Amino acid sequence: MYDNYPSFVLVGHPNKGKSSIVSTLAYDDSVEVSDIPGETKKTKYHPLKVGDKILYKIYDTPGFENAKRALSWLEKNETTSREHSKILKRFVEENKKSSEFKEEIELLNPIVDGGAIIYVVDGSTPYKEEYEAEMRILSWSGNPSMAIINKIGNKDYTNGWKNALNQHFKIVREFNPMNAKLDEKLKLLDAFSAMNQDWESSIDYAKEALIHNNDKMFYNTAKMIEENIRKSITYTVTSSLIKTDITDKDKINYEEQYKKDLIRFEKNNQKNVQTIWGHNRLDSSMEKFKFSDELFSGDFSKDGLIKKSFIIVSSVASASLAGATGFAFSAPTSFLDFGATTTLTTTLSTVGGAVVGFTTSAIGYNKFINSTTIGKIFSKKRFQVGPMKNYNFIFILSARAIQHAVAISTRSHAKRDNMNLNTNENSAENLFDDTEKKELAKISVNFRKDKNIKKSTEKYIEIIMKKIKII
Amino acid sequence: MFNKPKVQLNEYLKLKYLLNDKSIEKKISVENIKAYWKHNNSTDIDKLLQYSEQNKQYVNMDKIDSLEKKVFLSLITIMSLMFIIGLSMGFSLLSHDDTSRVNVTSFFFIMIIIPFLFSTVSFFYSIKSKTNLSKWIEENIFMPISKILLNSSTIMPNDVVKSIVFVKFQQGSLALLTGTILALFMTLLAKYVIFGWESTIIDTSSLQSFINFISFPWIFCCPNAVPSLEVIQDSHYYLSSNIIDLEALKSNTALSDSWWKFLGMSLIIYGFIPRFILLYLSNKIYHNALVDNILNDKNANEILLLIDNISHVTTTELVNEEHKTKEDNNSIFETNKKTIPHSLDYIIGWSHTKEILELILKHKNITASHIEIAGGNVPIDKEDALIASIEGSIMIFVDSWEPPQKDFINFVSSILKNKDNSISIYPIGMADDNYKPESKNISIWKNKISTINSSNIGIYNV
Ligand SMILES: Nc1nc2c(ncn2[C@@H]2O[C@H](COP(=O)(O)OP(=O)(O)OP(=O)(O)O)[C@@H](O)[C@H]2O)c(=O)[nH]1
Ligand SMILES: [Mg+2]
């Protein structure tokens, strides 16, 4: 049924965004895109496949370099106009070895094999007659063809281009590879399929495949985030057994370890999300966790709930938390005392600012160092940092993960710059509505207590999906 | 969306049939693939069920229908049989003799304690893994029973059969209980029943403490369903005594009231509730057995792999070449920077029309002895003639925003073959920008020209 898949060959002047369009359509950030003209030297194709069935191939080609002389070769050898495609074939065959027409041969190869022509121009620079030669060469193939106007710069010469292109192409579309959403890609595919009716079923199938693929990437992203959040919430650093009390220096070391690990988890998660979306070469960075001192260093036991630190959970989530944890938030004295652990207090002011990501006083880790006495006879102790008991944690981590995921999922594969994300301390506040806050608070408790994991996981993934899939 | 998959027997049988019939070609059509795509998070079971739904035309439904019918018939048979047994046992126990005296103790032990123990033990048997005893029970009790019930089919493996039989067991004992309860109420409705007890080893007070213990769950909510010490004392020897003042008894309603309420409550608390729980659990075990059995099937895993492979979307072919680091062309050759020479022999507009070139020249206030155009639509022979005749100092105006192509490089290279010629390139910007070029574009031209590697060509630095 789909044995005769179409090939789409992107051709045009150098540096007009051919590779960029291929890159975004193929979700491949390894395509050579550069502001130096002549970046693409060899023709390469990217197949869209379901299983091992190819639905279409997109070809990236080098730009024309010597069009006028190539056209003159063709005209010199012209017999009748019915023979044009044959002569074009002959041109490709006879000049295989010539360096003069190296780029022309590269780009014409897939066309003489029957590939449809997608002629790419830059709508931000004016049309000039020198383009005529290229278009006339292409028309010798007699293949289905269309044109894409890609506006690289800010100026607008689109109308001039449309007039010129309409002489040669039945279909002329505007497309921007730098910010094209899935929807626009699908519309472009529609234009592709309009070139030849036989391709309709193949393209329709391809569109469904792309939609599915998109959904799947969102789902996998949410799943990835969930795994990392659960890991981070439950994470602890535990010392070996020791007899005496822990020294301040050791405490700081354990805390540092804890913080570093959490940062590493987040970084890894971001890397994984990028891989899901095919941004394999992307270098991304995210602003550090920027918690103001009061946000976390406040003593929860005294006036925790009133403090700014609990804004997120206090207003809506505390009620459900009180239920879920079995103690009331309005009696904060119990907050630190529950469980069989004794809380030690450390002064964190001695810790240098060498931490990447979390700022030092950030999470008030001193509240999370627990010493547990393992058996009275030996009176040995084990010190433990974490798990994070602050219920804001899930909101802050989730908001960061969502922000990153949204940036990645909306990023064009044609982009080659690095990605730097600025975070906003309050983003977690405004990101979730009241019901979501309640649910997240419960999920946080469940994750930490290893309770209702399956349900909580599913619920969490659902919430994340809702937040990242913003098309 | 996230519901745990539950497999019905019918679905299970169809799927098993499909998986085990080697003659069926494992085909997955485009339509099937699209169906798989609908749910990103569908579980393996979902996928397999979909597979069987899509290939149901290959299934021999007669075979499956008959098997299902057998399971259903066995259910009906067991249920009605057990119901009748329960009913008749209830009646017989309630009618101790023709005077309708009831032995509470034997009723209690036979109808409540024994079934309770039996179902609890059998439940633990079903979840506990293999011991010698359970093996023996399986071989000598379950398998023969299941042979009779299901006519041992090859599709259904032992653990599935076992769980089916177990469910039937629970359903049967529920039917038995229903029969008993019905018998109790029918008897109470139709007759005046005298409850009594007698025993060689139990005395009144120990029976009372036993009854109190038994009725703990309802002692607070319905205290009149707990026979008091007096009632127990009064009903002692009612069974054997012949001198019962029936009229006096009938007026003392508390006596029989608290006994039948007690028995009824016991049936509910120790009969119905545990049975329902067990039925629920055994149903769960049964469904899990179906799911597990499918997921452990080698053929099922093959199909799943096939489904995953065949419905997987790839948008590109991953090439494992390292992204090449961009080399800096600037440092290879130094491009000459030119100033406008005092006297120009030639001015050439590259890919310009004559009119535009003149406009530019007027704007820039530059002129030369020869003004020509090349590139663009200029015919090749004209261009070649220009190359042959040109000499001296040459300035070429180019549109800075259009990248230099090979035809331009060839053009200037040909001119430079004459060593006396010198070229300066003048990149101009768009008319909208007052012909001022962008520096980004200038450097593109610079880089390209530097590849010619000649000191006779340079770029006019705007
Ligand atoms: N802002 C912006 N830049 C674009 C757009 N399309 C392409 N570019 C930039 O234009 C430059 C050229 O893009 P390429 O995709 O490499 O162009 P090409 O046609 O493949 O070029 P060659 O391979 O050299 O023929 C790159 O720097 C791109 O980042 C666009 O729509 N907007
Ligand atoms: Mg390119």
Question: Which distant-in-sequence residues (6+ apart) come within 8 Å of B431 by Cβ?
Answer: none
d(C-alpha B338, C-alpha B393), whole Å: 11
Q: Are residues B279 and B379 in the same domain?
A: no
Report which DSSP code applies to A368.
G
* Mean predicted lDDT score pLDDT of chain A: 80
* Mean predicted lDDT score pLDDT of chain B: 79
* Pairwise pLDDT comparison (A290 vs B230), residue with the higher score: B230
Q: Are residues A237 and A110 in the same domain?
A: no
d(C-alpha B454, C-alpha B334), whole Å: 10
* Pairwise pLDDT comparison (A389 vs A409), residue with the higher score: A409
**Nearest CA-CA partner of B388 in B411, B422, B367:** B411
pLDDT value for B1: 32
Asked whether residue A208 is assigned to any structural domain, the reply reads: no
Confirm if B165 and B145 have CB atoms less than 8 A apart. yes
Q: What is the nearest CA distance from A142 to chain B, expressed in angstroms?
A: 23
Q: Is the pLDDT of residue B323 over 60?
A: no
Under the banding of pLDDT at 50, 70 and 90, the label for residue A323 is very low
Where a domain ends, among A195, A222, A245?
A195
pLDDT value for B252: 65
Q: Are residues A287 and A347 in the same domain?
A: yes
Residues of A with Cβ-Cβ distance to B406 under 8 angstroms: 65-66, 100, 103
Q: Is the pLDDT of residue B161 over 80?
A: no
- Given an 8 Å threshold on Cβ–Cβ distance, is A68 in contact with B399? no
Q: What is the nearest CA distance from B448 to chain A, expressed in angstroms?
A: 9
Token pair 């995953």: residue: B308
Asked whether residue A206 is assigned to any structural domain, the reply reads: no
Residues B417-440 pLDDT 10s: 888 888 999 999 998 888 899 989
Residues of A with Cβ-Cβ distance to B312 under 8 angstroms: 50-51
- Given an 8 Å threshold on Cβ–Cβ distance, is A14 in contact with B405? yes
Instruction: Give the position, in ligand 1's atom list, of the atom nearest the Cα of A36.
Output: 24
Confirm if A293 and A361 have CB atoms less than 8 A apart. yes
Find which of A147-151, B160-164, B243-247 is predicted with most confidence, using mean pLDDT: A147-151
Q: Are residues A379 and A345 in the same domain?
A: yes
Lowest mean pLDDT of A165-174, A285-294, B86-95, name the range: A285-294
Report which DSSP code applies to B361.
H
pLDDT value for B100: 64
Token pair belonging to A363:
């999470």
Q: Are residues B305 and B367 in the same domain?
A: no
Find which of A273-287, A353-367, A425-439, B55-69 is predicted with most confidence, using mean pLDDT: A273-287
Q: Are residues B342 and B296 in the same domain?
A: no
Q: Are residues B98 and B202 in the same domain?
A: yes
Q: Are residues A111 and A72 in the same domain?
A: yes
- Given an 8 Å threshold on Cβ–Cβ distance, is A66 in contact with B311? no
Residue B428: give its domain's CATH number.
3.40.50
User: Structurally, how many domains does chain A consist of?
Assistant: 2
Q: Are residues A336 and A439 in the same domain?
A: yes
Q: How far apart are the first and last CA of chain A?
A: 32
Question: In 3-state terms, what secondary structure has residue A243?
Answer: coil
Q: Is the pLDDT of residue A437 over 90?
A: no
Beta-bridge partners for B424: B395, B458
Instruction: Give the position, in ligand 1's atom list, of the atom nearest the Cα of A63.
Output: 25
Q: Are residues A238 and A314 in the same domain?
A: yes
Q: Are residues B285 and B364 in the same domain?
A: no
Q: Are residues A54 and A150 in the same domain?
A: yes
Residue A27: give its domain's CATH number.
3.40.50.300
Confirm if A3 and A252 have CB atoms less than 8 A apart. no
- Given an 8 Å threshold on Cβ–Cβ distance, is A50 in contact with B309? no
d(C-alpha A60, C-alpha A24), whole Å: 12
Q: Are residues A264 and A365 in the same domain?
A: yes
Asked whether residue B212 is assigned to any structural domain, the reply reads: yes
pLDDT value for A428: 73
* Pairwise pLDDT comparison (A291 vs B131), residue with the higher score: B131
Angle between helices B30-37 and B298-311 (to 10 degrees): 90
Q: Are residues A303 and A355 in the same domain?
A: yes
pTM of the model: 0.79
Under the banding of pLDDT at 50, 70 and 90, the label for residue B326 is very low
Q: Is the pLDDT of residue B290 over 70?
A: yes
Where a domain ends, among A164, A195, A226?
A195
Lowest mean pLDDT of A50-54, A294-298, B156-160, name the range: A294-298
Token pair belonging to A465:
């999906």
pLDDT value for B98: 57
Asked whether residue B440 is assigned to any structural domain, the reply reads: yes
CA of A62 to the centre of ligand 2 (A): 6
Confirm if A45 and A110 have CB atoms less than 8 A apart. yes
Under the banding of pLDDT at 50, 70 and 90, the label for residue A359 is very low
Q: Is the pLDDT of residue A118 over 70?
A: yes
Confirm if A296 and A390 have CB atoms less than 8 A apart. yes
Q: Which of A159-192 are b and which e, b meaning 16 or more Cβ less than 10 Å from the residue's Cβ?
A: eebbebbeebbebbbebbbeebebebbbebbebb
Instruction: Give the position, in ligand 1's atom list, of the atom nearest the Cα of A62.
Output: 25
pLDDT value for B125: 66
Token pair 């597979």: residue: B51
Q: Are residues A191 and A227 in the same domain?
A: no
Q: Which domain holds residue B85?
A: 57-311
Q: Are residues B118 and B242 in the same domain?
A: yes
Q: Which domain holds residue A112?
A: 7-195
Mean pLDDT for B122-131 is 65
Under the banding of pLDDT at 50, 70 and 90, the label for residue B79 is confident
| Pairing outcome for strands A369-374 and A342-343 | antiparallel
Asked whether residue A368 is assigned to any structural domain, the reply reads: yes
Neighbours of A295 (CB within 10 A): 23
Asked whether residue B49 is assigned to any structural domain, the reply reads: no
d(C-alpha B309, C-alpha B303), whole Å: 10
Confirm if B164 and B146 have CB atoms less than 8 A apart. yes
Lowest mean pLDDT of A368-377, A381-390, B244-253, B436-445, name the range: A368-377
Q: Are residues B305 and B226 in the same domain?
A: yes
Residue of chain A with shortest Cα separation from B431: A126
pLDDT value for A306: 33
Q: Is the pLDDT of residue B322 over 70?
A: no
Which among B311, B403, B406 has the least Cβ separation from residue A51?
B311
Q: Are residues B121 and B214 in the same domain?
A: yes
CA of A137 to the centre of ligand 1 (A): 23
Q: Are residues B410 and B302 in the same domain?
A: no
Instruction: Give the position, in ligand 1's atom list, of the atom nearest the Cα of A179.
Output: 31
Q: Is the pLDDT of residue A351 over 60?
A: no
Where a domain ends, among B296, B311, B326?
B311
pLDDT value for A253: 80
* Pairwise pLDDT comparison (A169 vs B68), residue with the higher score: A169
Q: Is the pLDDT of residue B154 over 80?
A: no
Q: Is the pLDDT of residue A347 over 50?
A: no
Q: Are residues B171 and B73 in the same domain?
A: yes
Asked whether residue B168 is assigned to any structural domain, the reply reads: yes
Asked whether residue B61 is assigned to any structural domain, the reply reads: yes
Mean pLDDT for A37-61 is 93
* Pairwise pLDDT comparison (A240 vs A263), residue with the higher score: A263
Q: Are residues A222 and A191 in the same domain?
A: no
Find which of A102-106, B61-65, B268-272 is predicted with most confidence, using mean pLDDT: A102-106
Asked whether residue B238 is assigned to any structural domain, the reply reads: yes
CA of A44 to the centre of ligand 2 (A): 10
Under the banding of pLDDT at 50, 70 and 90, the label for residue A378 is low
Mean pLDDT for A87-103 is 93
Q: Is the pLDDT of residue A470 over 50?
A: yes
Residue of chain B with shortest Cα separation from A127: B402
Find which of A68-82, A431-445, B218-232 is predicted with most confidence, using mean pLDDT: A68-82
Mean pLDDT for B215-242 is 77
Asked whether residue A2 is assigned to any structural domain, the reply reads: no
Q: Are residues A297 and A399 in the same domain?
A: yes
Q: What are the residues of chain B with a beta carbon less than 8 Å away from any beta carbon of chain A?
A: 1-2, 30, 33-34, 37, 40-41, 309-319, 321, 323-324, 326, 329, 351, 353, 375-377, 380, 399, 401-407, 410, 430, 432, 440, 444, 447-448
* Pairwise pLDDT comparison (A64 vs A378), residue with the higher score: A64
Asked whether residue A204 is assigned to any structural domain, the reply reads: no
Confirm if A66 and A101 have CB atoms less than 8 A apart. yes
Distances (CA, A) of B292 to A215, B71, B160, B300: 29, 20, 9, 11
Angle between helices B30-37 and B44-54 (to 10 degrees): 150
CA of A163 to the centre of ligand 1 (A): 23
pLDDT value for A6: 94
Mean pLDDT for A369-387 is 61
pLDDT value for A241: 65
Asked whether residue A337 is assigned to any structural domain, the reply reads: yes
* Pairwise pLDDT comparison (B26 vs A92), residue with the higher score: A92
pLDDT value for B270: 82
pLDDT value for B126: 64
pLDDT value for A132: 93
Asked whether residue B2 is assigned to any structural domain, the reply reads: no
Chain B contact probe: residue of A212, A214, A462 with most B CBs at under 10 A: A212
Under the banding of pLDDT at 50, 70 and 90, the label for residue B162 is confident
Residues of B with Cβ-Cβ distance to A26 under 8 angstroms: 315-316
pLDDT value for A331: 29
Ligand 1: lining residues by beta carbon, under 6 Å: A 14-20, 33-35, 37-40, 62-63, 150, 152, 176-178
User: Structurally, how many domains does chain B consist of?
Assistant: 2
